[in-house]
Amino acid sequence: MRKFLPKSRQTIDPSPCFHRRRFLRTSLALAGGIIAAPAVATVRRTGERRIELLNLHTGEKAKILYWSGGMYQPGGLNDLNHLLRDHRTGDVYDMDTGLFDLVHDLGLEFGSQQKFEIISGYRSPKTNKSLSNKSSGVAKRSLHMQGKAMDLRMPGVSLDKLKQTAMNLQRGGVGFYPKSGFIHVDTGRVRSW
């Protein structure tokens, strides 16, 4: 008597057609890896992510390792949160790690990790209310209050080029403030102004 196996346990006939399909699937998977962006390849190769920041209000600067060994590093995240605190009140907030990744990748787009000058990171509700009362350019429900936004610039890179590169990443909002000398990036919905 012949024993019948369920379909999932039956062996597949290794006919020439089967080998061609497997070859094509494997080839497509390999081609996808070759086409990956150089910035992504750099991050995967090093396995580390760092951001170099200068807070223009406090004068503090640091090159901070915040990702290593396949995970976010608590010490690095704490250092970034402190550096990006509300300089008016001293309030520290847990910033969105996606924002750090966005800024990191923005730096990689210029060929290597670059230093960013920070105009604004976290803003407490008190600070945001005070700023919005003085200027119509400050949103009453700003993503700065949620730790999801930074106002920044990069020495040696034109604001226009920095804005366009951030917009090309399609990772959130990008605001352009040429008179004030910075761009705004956030991890909200993709939009620009």
pLDDT of residue 22: 52
Looking at the structure of the chain, the number of domains it has is: 1
Retrieve residue 181's tokens.
């000398």
- CATH number of 81's domain: 3.30.1380
Q: Which long-range contacts (CB under 8 A, 24 or more apart) does 58-64 make?
A: 58/83, 58/87, 61/115, 63/115
Assigned domain for 34 exists: no
Dihedral of CA atoms 99, 101, 107, 110 in degrees, nearest 10, equals: -120
pLDDT along the chain (193 residues), means of 10: 43 47 51 45 65 97 97 98 97 98 95 86 94 78 95 96 98 97 98 96
Assigned domain for 135 exists: no
Assigned domain for 136 exists: no
Assigned domain for 181 exists: yes
Assigned domain for 188 exists: yes
Parent domain of 166? 39-126+143-192
pLDDT of residue 21: 53
Assigned domain for 114 exists: yes
Assigned domain for 31 exists: no
Assigned domain for 13 exists: no
pLDDT of residue 48: 95
pLDDT of residue 111: 76
